[in-house]
């Protein structure tokens, strides 16, 4: 399911009428640079392929739209998330020391 608001996009995974996973993002103006905002699976539904399915959907969506790059920010201690991104072809583009909230972040990107 897709809700479109301007150039924002949201995908959800439902199970028994409950949302158990969500990913959203936005196109930065008309630049072709898409930014993944949130991605998450409900704590009781993690490690079951939901995050991977959502991220694949985001990649497919951005590619279909003709956008050339997806970027996101994560932190080095979110091991599952970093592994998920690496396995789907994202690469670390910048290491941001003490960025938001004095925490280290990694900017990861995938070119389509």
Ligand X SMILES: CC(C)(COP(=O)(O)OP(=O)(O)OC[C@H]1O[C@@H](n2cnc3c(N)ncnc32)[C@H](O)[C@@H]1OP(=O)(O)O)[C@@H](O)C(=O)NCCC(=O)NCCS
| Interaction of residue 71 with ligand X, rule CB under 6 A | no
Q: What is the smallest separation between the CB atom of 95 and ligand X, expressed in angstroms? A: 15
Long-range CB pairs of 55-58 (<8 Å, 24+ gap) are: 55/23, 55/84, 55/85, 55/88, 56/88, 57/11, 57/23, 58/9, 58/11, 58/23, 58/25
For residue 106, state whether it binds ligand X (rule: CB under 6 A): no
Does 25 engage in binding with ligand X (CB under 6 A)?
no
Q: Minimum Å distance from CB 33 to ligand X?
A: 18
Residue showing the smallest CB distance to ligand X in the complex: 51
> Beta-carbon neighbour count of residue 6 at 10 Å?
7
Q: With binding defined as CB under 6 A, does residue 76 bind ligand X?
A: no
Is 47 one of the binding residues for ligand X (CB under 6 A)?
A: yes
């Amino acid at each position: 399911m897709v809700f479109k608001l301007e150039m924002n996009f949201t995908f959800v995974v439902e199970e028994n009428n409950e949302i158990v996973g969500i990913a959203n993002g936005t196109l930065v103006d008309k630049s072709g640079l898409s930014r993944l905002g949130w991605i998450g699976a409900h704590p009781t539904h993690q490690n079951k392929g939901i995050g991977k399915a959502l991220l694949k959907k985001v990649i497919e969506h951005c590619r279909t739209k003709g956008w050339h790059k997806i970027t996101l920010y994560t932190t080095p201690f979110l091991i599952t998330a970093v592994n998920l991104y690496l396995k789907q072809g994202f690469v670390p583009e910048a290491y941001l020391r003490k960025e938001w909230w004095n925490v280290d972040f990694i900017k990861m990107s995938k070119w389509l």
